[in-house]
A and B are shown apart, each in its own frame.
Chain A
């Protein structure tokens, strides 16, 4: 049985002797090849956890390991299979070209120059930067700089990749490129990816699993589908009928919003009979039915409900 790609056990971090706990007894296990969304509001403990995992910050207690190697006691082995794009920093040298950066970081991670060059050529080609490889990164657009940062994180072909806000500040096209890259890394190359972002549609699209941290503790850690289904409201429906100028007569608890083509009716039914009665009522009013669906919460709604719940004692 392979070791977990990422394992965090009872991790706590307190800044200073009397400061509050930034991370409070967090545990997390991520199997190889999975993509996990690590979410939380600002100040929840995400960055602290990530930096401990990357060996950039020491924990007050608890352990963190990458591929079975403790990030403190077996740092060299842990870092040999790890690459990261960290949020809020340049990640690469803007005074150097993308080519120079990739060679530099490749050799820094222990690759021979020839191996770093071969890998850099492939990454820059895949990311559409090959033609501009000798230009200084400082002159690139934000999206191109982020691509170089991602390429630098991937230069040693790490098995475990941490991407902290990889699409922050990117335009639609660049975001799509990064999303496609993450998907390819996970699906085609079997990489383990820990993804943090506030763009929850990206998480919903890419992550097998979602862990949400709030006030230094995990409030949930579930497969994405399971999490969404837990928040699915089985008795809430959305019914679309043809838009009419006349007002629609509805039972209590239902609301109607008239659009250009459809009137959207939403509300809660007690049971199937209530639903049939509503449909009959609409048919009786001469409103052609366009669609009927259970309301499915998206990850953003789930996330907000998780982080806005009253804090546990």
Chain B
């Protein structure tokens, strides 16, 4: 008969503690990288105004300002979330710190989830800069900047769905390491066919269907445009797949992300790529 060694007293519940810890680290990194954040807070609004101007043949047309803004806000979330999580993950892998984060009684999912939330918060300054620019531009044009509190639902759907995508990319990073080309290409694909700049209604039907099904920002942007531009309500969106899909898609994407991440994590542990660069 043997007895176990005593286990040191841990905080209970440790999950919330570690989750908050990870978010806190993400915030410290955000503050430490304030110059990069500031640069993005300038470049994203500049791109926004340039896009609207080019689409309007040199004029900031009021009818373009809000639709493009909605698309770019979605794109900013996906760009910031994916890049922040991917690069922090790759950096930790390269430096070997990631292995230390696995020497914990807590599941790695808690750490990854904390990184995701930190990335979402990290996206907020850029999104705020975009919204502020859009507000000023619309107001200067003499228009009314639309706001509907319920639009936070599609915004949340975008954020949650993107977490699923980021989980897949993190899992791929564990196994294949340098996948930045895939990461960048995926963001570009979402920009082109995700309904960010070109509305899904203007895309070929099969492409629009694939976009609604698979791209985390597509249903959210489509719903936000319907609510802010066409006065649709949350329960009567008038979009092709409606509220049900708006809520279901991010859940499915995140569930798929968790499954794929866990599978790839097991592959990484089998191949020994968890800490090798």
Known A48-B272, A108-B111: A80·B10 in contact at CB below 8 Å: yes
| Complex: A15 Cα to B104 Cα, angstroms | 25
Measured in the bound complex, the distance between the Cα atoms of B11 and A84 in whole Å is 21
Q: Give the contacts of B5-30 with A (CB-CB under 8 A).
A: 5-11, 14, 17-18, 20-22, 24-25, 28-29
> Is there an interface contact between B104 and A3, defined as CB atoms closer than 8 Å?
no
Contacts A2-B3, A91-B100, A104-B21; A57 near B272 (Cβ below 8 A): yes
- Contact of B97 with A68 in the complex, beta carbons under 8 Å: no
Stretch of A151-159, A248-256, A269-277, A286-294 at the chain-chain interface = A151-159
**Chain B residues whose CB sits within 8 angstroms of the CB of A90 once the complex forms:** 95-97
Residue A56 is within 8 A (CB to CB) of chain B in the complex: yes
- Give the docked Cα–Cα distance between A3 and B2 (Å): 5
Most B CB within 10 A of own CB, among A5, A32, A89, A94? A89
Q: Which residues of A contact B104 (CB under 8 A)?
A: 79, 108-110
- Say whether, besides A56-B269, A57-B272, A104-B25, A67 and B4 are in contact (CB < 8 Å): yes
The total of interchain contacts (Cβ-Cβ below 8 angstroms) comes to 138
In the docked arrangement, what's the CA distance between A79 and B8, Å?
Answer: 10
Q: Which of A1, A69, A156 has the most CB atoms of chain B within a 10 A radius of its CB?
A: A156
**Are B2's CB and A58's CB within 8 A?**
no
Asked if B105 and A56 sit within 8 Å, CB to CB, the answer is no
Binary A-proximity of B17-45 (CB < 8 A = 1, otherwise 0) = 11011101100110010000000000000
> Do A1 and B275 touch (CB < 8 A)?
no
Q: Nearest-CB distance from B207 to chain A (Å)?
A: 39
Residues 55-92 of A contacting B (Cβ, < 8 Å): 55-58, 67-69, 75-77, 79-84, 86, 88-92
Across the interface, which residues of A come within 8 angstroms of B177, CB to CB?
none
- Complex CA gap A159/B97 in Å reads 22
**A-B residue pairs in contact (CB < 8 Å), sample of 22:** A2-B3, A3-B3, A55-B102, A56-B102, A56-B269, A57-B274, A58-B266, A58-B269, A77-B7, A79-B104, A86-B99, A91-B96, A93-B97, A96-B25, A105-B100, A107-B21, A108-B111, A109-B104, A113-B17, A159-B5, A159-B6, A159-B8
Closest 8 A/B residue pairs (Cβ): A89-B96, A67-B5, A110-B10, A110-B14, A107-B21, A76-B105, A112-B11, A68-B4
11 other A-B residue contacts (CB within 8 Å) besides A82-B103, A109-B10, A109-B103: A3-B3, A54-B99, A57-B272, A79-B103, A79-B104, A81-B6, A93-B97, A95-B29, A110-B10, A111-B17, A156-B8
